[in-house]
């Protein structure tokens, strides 16, 4: 049994849950743990569509099976960001971004809006470059 750590399904209370949904409803965040059956019956269609898209996609950084859709900084600067990532790459991406953002927080708040976009664009490019190096090192 490898399911001993899965909490029971919040809907039927019988089966171990395999799907962990974060649903934002009226501005508050609700999380549900559902088993396969209840997921099929209750999950919103758009959530299933997204899951199917993730399963069919590969990581945009290393090419492994994608585990999630990554919302990147590209979203903030208005580029389409349908990017998928595996957990490993997502974690590193997140870590790097936070670290960089933390370092430039003061400068960002003072900057004019047009400058902010430029800074974010540069950050986005830096992050892409960092991920390429990081994946190369990880896989070697």
Burial of 1 from C-beta contacts in 10 A (0-12 / 13-18 / 19+): exposed
Contact string (CB under 5 A) for Zn ion, positions 91-120, x = contact: ------------------------------
Nearer to Zn ion among residue 73 and residue 89 (C-beta):
89
Contact string (CB under 5 A) for Zn ion, positions 2-21, x = contact: -------x-xx--x------
Please, what's the largest Cα pairwise distance for the chain? 56
Number of other residues whose CB lies within 10 A of the CB of residue 138: 12
Question: Minimal distance in Å, beta carbon 14 to Zn ion?
Answer: 6
- Cα(67)–Cα(136) distance, rounded to whole angstroms? 19
Question: Minimal distance in Å, beta carbon 88 to Zn ion?
Answer: 5
Nearer to Zn ion among residue 9 and residue 123 (C-beta):
9
Minimal CA–CA distance to 64: which of 92, 37, 29?
Answer: 92
Q: Is there binding between residue 89 and Zn ion (CB under 5 A)? A: yes
Cβ-Cβ contacts under 8 Å for 130 (sequence gap 6 or more): 96
Contact string (CB under 5 A) for Zn ion, positions 24-43, x = contact: -----------x--x-----
| 3-class DSSP state of 82 | coil
Question: According to CB under 5 A, which one of 51, 62, 67, 108 is a site residue for Zn ion?
Answer: 62
Question: Minimal distance in Å, beta carbon 136 to Zn ion?
Answer: 12
């Amino acid at each position: 049994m490898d399911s001993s750590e899965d909490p029971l399904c919040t809907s039927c209370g019988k089966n171990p849950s395999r799907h962990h949904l974060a649903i934002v409803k009226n501005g508050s965040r609700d999380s549900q743990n559902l088993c396969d059956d209840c997921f099929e019956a209750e999950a919103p269609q758009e959530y299933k569509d997204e899951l199917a898209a993730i399963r069919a996609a590969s990581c945009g950084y290393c090419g492994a099976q994608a585990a999630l859709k990554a919302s990147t900084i590209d979203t903030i600067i208005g580029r389409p960001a349908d990017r998928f990532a595996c957990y490993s790459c997502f974690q590193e991406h997140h870590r790097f971004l936070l670290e960089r953002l933390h370092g430039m927080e003061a400068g960002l708040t003072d900057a004019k809006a047009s400058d902010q976009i430029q800074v974010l664009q540069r950050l986005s490019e830096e992050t892409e470059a960092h991920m390429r190096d990081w994946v190369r090192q990880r896989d070697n």
